[in-house]
Amino acid sequence: MSSVNAGARLDRLPISRFHRRIFALVGIGMFLDGFDIYLASTVIGTTLKTGFATMEQCALFVAATFVGMMLGSLAAGFIGDRYGRSFTYQMNLLVFGLAAVAAGFAWNMNVLIFMRFLMGLGLGAENVVGYAAVTEFIPARLRGRWLGILAMIFSMGLPAAILLSTYIIPSHPAQGWRTMFFIGGGAGLLVWWMRKTLTESPRWLESVGRNDEAEAILQDVEEECRRGIKGELPPVVERPAGPPPPTAISALFRRPYLSRIIVGSIVLIIINAVVHGFVIWLPTFFILQGMSMSDAFRFALVMSLGAPLGAGIAAMSADLIGRKPTVALACVVAMAIAFIYPDIRDPYLLPLVGLGLTAPIFVLMALLFGIYIPELFPTELRLRAAGICNMFGRGATIGTPFIVIYLFDTRGVGGVTMAMEGLLAILALVLVVFGVEPAKRSLEEITRIGPITTMLPRRARPAKDMSQG
């Protein structure tokens, strides 16, 4: 038994001001991460319309984002497991904020593409570290809900980016996209300053032998929770001691983690291709089909509301029915709506059906990125494993913009949605057949279960405390 027992002590706590404070600090950064990732959906359409960029340069702009995010995800994994979650989280936000401000001063598209690559380094790292940090603080019984809410905050960056773009860009197309970068970068630097007090994860501190620091943080957290409930905390549930967790990265390429790396990489490759091959390109599709810039942004804004809606559904269903059933249902719904979407011509019905398509896509986005992947690996390897999965996910979609252009030019929006249906079918099959079900299990227990488990989550034990979560 560990002298600190951080996992069991954190899992039995009620939700307190401490949890909400950590969640708020991470959530603000995740919102800005989403805002600037999805800013691409308005920038590529605007720079194309104003002649600042060609279609090929717009594709390079999106591809540069993925190259940066791929490298940033991988680097954040190694740095986060070596130097801690707090240090890594601060570093990536600083890189992203400075690069975003610099992007607003770009004098040609090639400079903007390079700055976008630098932004991608920070954006990719933020995504990996943010979800993992919250994963290690929230009790197991509520982890899916809170991570789903965090993903919803992240996904709100999409409608926020499009809404601001709708008011800022059409009136000054040549300069409006620069203002958008200034807003995102300036806000990122402000949050970087606010987050200097972000608490380090006791689970990580214990995993690297810094037990005194872990114990001090846990005692402070427990005391804050006691004040919140005005009483004694639930007893720590003793867990059977298992084999010592692996620390060498080579463990990720042996059972049981190899199958998780493969499944995690495949599902992130697919959901990245779906989101960044369809959702991000929506305003551009509308503009290329002859719609005005203002109308295109308004249509895309309505559809983008499906992003926080879908993430909210993921937050509610992840713990209730489990991760795998939620993924399967979302894939089926998205495939059905994608099948009819290209035939919709009514200008009022089109954005509503598009909203219906965006929602299940972001159920998958929230659940896979925000909830599922960070749960699969032990604390000692969590960020490196998530970084590797994200590296493959981002890296394999570097070519997505060029495939989208080809499909749109040769088969229109119908060709894009048909490809999306096929990818979603593969995603559902891979996760349901080969994925594990982490719902209602402690992080320490998840590391010990086999590569293939039942479709349904484990039955929850009766709660021993009246959590406010």
* Chain position carrying tokens 């059409």: 170
If you ran DSSP here, which 8-state letter would residue 458 be given? P
Q: What confidence score (pLDDT) does residue 467 get?
A: 39
pLDDT band at 239 (very low <50, low <70, confident <90, very high): low
pLDDT in tens, 171-194: 776 777 888 889 888 988 988 888
Identify which of 301, 312, 425 has the alpha carbon closest to the alpha carbon of residue 365: 312
Average pLDDT over residues 122-127: 82
Average pLDDT over residues 75-98: 85
pLDDT band at 98 (very low <50, low <70, confident <90, very high): very high
Is residue 237 in some structural domain?
no
pLDDT in tens, 328-363: 999 999 999 888 877 777 777 877 888 888 899 999
pLDDT in tens, 369-423: 888 888 888 888 888 888 888 888 877 777 777 787 787 778 777 777 788 889 9
By CB neighbour count within 10 A (0-12 exposed, 13-18 middle, 19+ buried), where does 238 fall?
Answer: exposed
Asked if residue 85 lies in contact with residue 204, where contact means CB atoms within 8 angstroms, the answer is yes
pLDDT value at 466 more than 70: no
Average pLDDT over residues 420-439: 89
Please spell the DSSP secondary structure of 365-380, one letter per residue: HIIIIIIIHHHSS-GG
By CB neighbour count within 10 A (0-12 exposed, 13-18 middle, 19+ buried), where does 289 fall?
Answer: exposed
Q: What confidence score (pLDDT) does residue 145 get?
A: 87
Residue 167, token pair as written in the block: 């008011």
Asked if residue 47 lies in contact with residue 176, where contact means CB atoms within 8 angstroms, the answer is no
Asked if residue 365 lies in contact with residue 151, where contact means CB atoms within 8 angstroms, the answer is yes
Residue 241, token pair as written in the block: 């001691």
Average pLDDT over residues 116-138: 86
How open is the CA angle 38-41-43, to the nearest 5 degrees? 105
Q: What is the CATH number of the domain that holds 14?
A: 1.20.1250.20
Please spell the DSSP secondary structure of 387-447, one letter per residue: HHHHHHHHHHTTTHHHHHHHHHHHHHHHHHHHHHHHHHHHHHHHHHHH----TT--HHHHT
Is residue 98 in some structural domain?
yes
What is the domain count for the chain?
1
Is residue 102 in some structural domain?
yes
Q: What confidence score (pLDDT) does residue 229 get?
A: 78
User: For 200-204, 258-262, 351-355, which range has the lowest pLDDT when averaged over its residues?
Assistant: 351-355
Average pLDDT over residues 302-325: 87
Is residue 242 in some structural domain?
no
Is residue 468 in some structural domain?
no
Please spell the DSSP secondary structure of 251-312, one letter per residue: GGGSTTHHHHHHHHHHHHHHHHHHIIIIITTHHHHHHHTT--HHHHHHHHHHHHTHHHHHHH
What percentage of the chain carries pLDDT values higher than 70? Answer: 88
Q: What confidence score (pLDDT) does residue 424 get?
A: 93
Residue 53, token pair as written in the block: 């960029």
Is residue 39 in some structural domain?
yes
pLDDT band at 245 (very low <50, low <70, confident <90, very high): low
Q: Which domain holds residue 358?
A: 7-232+250-446
pLDDT value at 459 more than 90: no
Asked if residue 286 lies in contact with residue 300, where contact means CB atoms within 8 angstroms, the answer is yes
Average pLDDT over residues 100-128: 89
The Cα–Cα gap between 448 and 300 comes to 44
pLDDT value at 429 more than 90: yes
Q: What confidence score (pLDDT) does residue 307 get?
A: 84
Q: What mean pLDDT, rounded, does the chain reach?
A: 81
Q: What confidence score (pLDDT) does residue 394 get?
A: 78
Cβ partners under 8 Å of residue 198, min gap 6: 22, 25, 26, 86, 89, 90, 133
Is residue 240 in some structural domain?
no
Average pLDDT over residues 48-70: 82
Q: What confidence score (pLDDT) does residue 165 get?
A: 79
Average pLDDT over residues 259-277: 88
Is residue 77 in some structural domain?
yes
Looking at per-residue confidence, does 262 or 92 come out higher? Answer: 262
Asked if residue 48 lies in contact with residue 55, where contact means CB atoms within 8 angstroms, the answer is yes
Q: What confidence score (pLDDT) does residue 289 get?
A: 63
Q: CA 94, 96, 99, 100: dihedral to nearest 10 degrees?
A: -120
pLDDT value at 241 more than 70: no
Q: What confidence score (pLDDT) does residue 1 get?
A: 41
What percentage of the chain carries pLDDT values higher than 90? Answer: 12
